[in-house]
Structure 1
Amino acid sequence: MSITGTPASYLGALTRVAMHESGGNPRAINLWDSNAKAGHPSKGLMQTIDSTFNAYKLPGLGDIWNPVANAVAAIRYMNARYGSISNVPGVRSAKYVGYKNGGRKRGNDPVLVGENGPELADLPDGTQIHNTNKTQELLKQQKGNISINFSPVINIKIDGGTGTTESNIDRAVRAALERAFKDFIPIINSGVAY
């Protein structure tokens, strides 16, 4: 995820994709679907076909069976095809249960929260997690006293050559900010964030 600049909040979604696609097996190969029948079986952790893997792999990550290389290519493909991991059909339609009805966190391990996609929360034992209705009620009571921070982390890899002009770097940063803001917009458009 860090290689592609993917926020930690997508860990649950990417895990769900990997488990759905390969059961978490980086050596998985699909020999029965339409891709396989066409001579292009899906391979590896995220089940990419050779042509997709080759189009989205990064230098030094050219082994489709390597789970990191396979995940990097798959993440880059998902972002290119759907604009964001949160828009991938299997991710978007998934029903997350977790703490959606609220509850009290037990233990010190991070938990996944969020009804419109996974959000990793590293909270102390006993922390109260409120459901959507209670959260909206609390936010409305705090109108004007809520602070929302938008602090995306953008990683830029500069390899040199003709693609590293200032304007190309500027375009890459702007595109990354737009993708991050697109994921952030539902939060501020929820009707309870002011």
Structure 2
Amino acid sequence: MNSVDTALCDLQMQRSARAHGCVLNVAFNLQTVQLANAQLTSTLNSLLAEQASSGSGLTFELTESGLPEAPATSLETLVRLRMMGCRLSIDDFGAGFSSLQRLCQLPFNEIKLDADFIHNLAHEPRCRAAISSTLALGEALGMSVVIEGIETAAQRRELLALGCTQGQGYWYARPMAGVDLLNWLQRRNHGKGTDE
């Protein structure tokens, strides 16, 4: 299945979730070579029109390590995606080598902090400081911060105490097929979720 087919399947699942009263943001990993594709935004516009969806329900994730490789022409694609209402996320933040200057230059509106920080939170005080600093940086830059790799209730409590409002990881749910995800969303939407 190519990336267009994958995007179409995900948008169809998003539309099904919406029909059942569930809001579902769909995130896609975006490779540097895809970002340089001049047809990316026009193809995406066509898919969104087909599925009666808007860009606001999509997040495109680009790894921090891929940012230095991104040619200057890719900035135009990033700006177009933002103009379409899409969210742009720097994935695995803290694991790569990009500078804070690059973070300020590119039109991202979300930072996904690498899971290694949460895995070492309990026994490494510097990880707590890095998480707190990233949360403060995100707030100062007007960017949301998502903490990756939350696996336990204790980790979730610690992150809430630090001011984290968004996270992902096995504590919330394991990866699942689209049909299972729709069922899981419906159960949560009807008050039967366990991660409130």
TM-score scaled to structure 1, two decimals?
Answer: 0.23
If each structure's helix is expressed as a fraction of its own residues, which one has the higher value? 2
If each structure's strand is expressed as a fraction of its own residues, which one has the higher value? 2
